[in-house]
């Protein structure tokens, strides 16, 4: 193969790759816009990584519960600064308490509100409580399970409120878990 043929093939390959990347960028830009943003905030903590972990945990629990309840739109996580200028409906979650108590229960309490740009509607406080049974040698495992169960109970109440008020969820197509 001579040099001219090699350069022609390389140029052709470069053009094909460029066209494919431009087409995928255009398709990505035309992708479905999110119909709901979920913004999770909480009390400040000393470790920003832990604060991010709490926000991610709540986002994934709420998004999963809403999808199980039949919500069909695209749900995206956003911080409160991006959510304010998005123009999309924002479900604002403020975690107030999510910790084990001295009595052996794990409590999860958060407030929720819907912000559609022009108006803001408070949905109220949601709380979940889970007993923390110390049945294994690993106390960390039991606390983790208690944290998950208490958050799931509170999120279940939030999803039920959204469905009953007809705010975001369509009519119940299948049972929410």
pLDDT band at 115 (very low <50, low <70, confident <90, very high): confident
User: What is the dihedral sign for C-alpha 48, 53, 56, 57?
Assistant: negative
**Range picked from 16-20, 56-60, 69-73 for highest mean pLDDT:** 56-60
Please, where are the H alpha helices in the chain? 3-29, 48-68, 80-84, 139-164
b/e map 44-61, b = 16+ CB within 10 Å: eeeeeeebeebbebbbeb
Please name each of the domains of the chain with its CATH number: 36-164 (3.40.50.10610)
The chain-wide mean pLDDT, for the chain, equals 77
Higher local confidence (pLDDT), 10 or 73 = 73
Higher local confidence (pLDDT), 150 or 2 = 150
Q: What does the alpha-carbon distance between residue 129 and residue 168 come to, in Å, rounded to a whole number? A: 25
pLDDT at 7 over 80: no
pLDDT tens-place string over residues 27-66: 455 556 778 888 898 877 767 777 888 888 889 999 999 9
The token pair at 3 is: 């040099």
**What's residue 173's pLDDT?**
47
pLDDT band at 4 (very low <50, low <70, confident <90, very high): low
**Residue 19 half-sphere exposure, CB side, CA atoms within 13 Å?**
6
**What's residue 87's pLDDT?**
73
């Amino acid at each position: 193969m001579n040099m001219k043929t090699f350069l022609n093939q390389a140029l052709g390959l470069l053009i094909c790759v460029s066209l494919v990347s431009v087409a995928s960028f255009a398709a990505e830009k035309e992708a479905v816009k999110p119909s709901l943003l979920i913004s999770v905030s909480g009390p400040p903590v000393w470790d920003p990584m832990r604060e991010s972990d709490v926000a991610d945990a709540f986002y994934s629990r709420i998004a999963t519960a809403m999808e199980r309840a039949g919500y069909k739109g695209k749900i995206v996580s956003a911080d409160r600064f991006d959510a304010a200028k998005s123009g999309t409906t924002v479900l604002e979650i403020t975690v107030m308490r999510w910790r084990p108590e001295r009595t052996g229960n794990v409590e999860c309490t958060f407030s929720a509100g819907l912000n559609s740009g022009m108006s803001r509607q408070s949905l109220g406080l949601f709380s979940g409580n889970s007993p923390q049974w110390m049945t294994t040698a690993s106390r960390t495992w039991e606390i983790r399970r208690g944290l998950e169960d208490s958050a799931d109970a509170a999120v279940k109440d939030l999803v039920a409120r959204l469905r009953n008020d007809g705010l975001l969820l369509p009519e119940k197509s299948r049972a929410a878990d």
